[in-house]
């Protein structure tokens, strides 16, 4: 009987002690926060989908982490495939667009997995360990939806096929792509959203809705750092140089105010920095930045085109940076 205490790299011996395929999948599960496409090689994006001058799709070589089951309890496969072509699919509907989904699936003889398709006599194809890459054609509609893909398949991406298409080169990528994340890894800067306006004055009465927004998808619960750069001053300078005011800077998450920071501005053109840390659950989230005058006669923003790094060397206007700081566990 195979033991549940095994070391990767140790094959089963005559007593059955060692790493079975089942245990191998379980070990891989601990290496990844979530399944999905793994990065890229030095020459091309991993498993990148592109159209052609016919009705097939090209898929570049690459690696994908695949779950054995929906609950992930049976562990993960790491599936590598060379560059391949999938299809063909039918030409575009004369009137409506559709969505085609390209997918990958790891078959496993231990589970009696069979690939898509039939033999010439209509019987099912035999069980296999072969990795499949395929495409499922969608249904044309004014507002098309993605079709369901085969059981155990993992979605690599989708392509929106316009009405009347005679080649997939006219199709465009549709929707998000799920990338595998190593356990605990930080994804770094997710977005930099900039207003890039010089002389933008605070409103009276104050406008309190977010002025900078960005939506991002996260495969697991994440720690997020929101970082705002704000170059503001009083509208004019006085001989006493002592005019000042206070602005409220608010971070929003999914349309709700998360926290408020205060910036005391003066006559000097200074870039202020404020931050907020938050944990968000897996899924799609929208982050926003609001700013309005709270005390004093108001402020104006300052922006120049010579600010490559947000470090205050020039004038940044107003900028929101969203940074992923790793899994929230």
The mean pLDDT values, 10 residues at a time, for the chain of 329 residues are: 62 75 86 86 78 96 93 91 95 97 95 88 90 96 96 95 97 92 84 91 88 89 94 87 91 96 93 95 94 93 70 78 87
- Please check whether residue 167 is in contact with residue 52, taking contact to mean a CB–CB distance below 8 angstroms: yes
Q: What is the pTM of this model?
A: 0.65
At residue 132, the pLDDT reads 95
d(CA 166, CA 90): 9
Q: Is the N-terminal amide bond of 58 cis, ω within 30° of 0?
A: no
Q: Which residues contact 1 (CB under 8 A, 6 or more apart)?
A: 16
Q: Is the N-terminal amide bond of 205 cis, ω within 30° of 0?
A: yes
d(CA 249, CA 266): 16
At residue 3, the pLDDT reads 45
d(CA 129, CA 318): 54
At residue 22, the pLDDT reads 81
At residue 256, the pLDDT reads 95
Domain range summary for the chain, segments of one domain joined by +: 21-182, 188-327
d(CA 176, CA 155): 10
Burial of 15 (0-12, 13-18, 19+ CB in 10 A): exposed
- Residue 275 is encoded by which pair of tokens? 């931050």
Q: Which fold has domain 188-327?
A: Jelly Rolls (2.60.120)
At residue 4, the pLDDT reads 60
At residue 320, the pLDDT reads 96
């Amino acid at each position: 009987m195979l033991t549940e205490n095994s070391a990767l790299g140790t094959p089963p011996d005559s007593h059955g002690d060692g790493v079975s395929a089942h245990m191998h999948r379980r070990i891989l599960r601990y290496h990844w926060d979530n399944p999905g496409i793994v990065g890229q090689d030095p020459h091309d994006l991993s498993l990148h989908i592109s159209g052609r001058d016919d009705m097939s799709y090209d898929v570049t070589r690459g690696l994908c982490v695949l779950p054995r089951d929906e609950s992930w309890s049976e562990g993960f496969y790491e599936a590598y495939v060379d560059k391949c072509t999938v299809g063909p699919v039918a030409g575009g509907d004369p009137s409506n667009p559709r969505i085609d989904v390209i997918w990958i699936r790891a078959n496993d003889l231990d589970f009696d997995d069979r690939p898509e398709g039939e033999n010439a006599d209509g019987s099912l194809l035999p069980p296999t360990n072969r990795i499949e890459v395929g495409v499922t054609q969608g249904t044309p509609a004014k507002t098309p939806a993605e079709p369901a893909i085969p059981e155990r398949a993992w979605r690599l991406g989708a392509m929106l096929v316009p009405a009347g298409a005679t080649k997939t080169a006219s199709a465009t990528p549709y929707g998000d792509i799920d990338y595998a994340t190593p356990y605990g890894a930080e994804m770094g800067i997710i977005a930099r959203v900039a207003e890039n306006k010089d002389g933008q004055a605070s409103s009276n009465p104050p406008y309190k809705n977010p002025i900078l927004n960005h939506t991002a998808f996260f495969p697991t619960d994440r720690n997020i750092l929101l970082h705002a750069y704000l170059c503001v001053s009083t509208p004019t300078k006085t001989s006493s140089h002592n005019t000042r005011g206070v602005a409220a800077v608010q971070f929003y998450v999914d349309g709700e105010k998360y926290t408020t920071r205060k910036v005391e501005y003066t006559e000097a053109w200074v870039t202020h920095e404020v931050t907020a840390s938050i944990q968000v659950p897996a899924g799609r989230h929208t982050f926003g930045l609001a700013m309005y005058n709270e005390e004093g006669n108001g402020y104006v923003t300052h922006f120049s085109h010579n600010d490559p790094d947000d470090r205050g060397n020039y004038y940044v206007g107003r900028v929101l940076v969203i940074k992923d700081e790793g899994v929230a566990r």
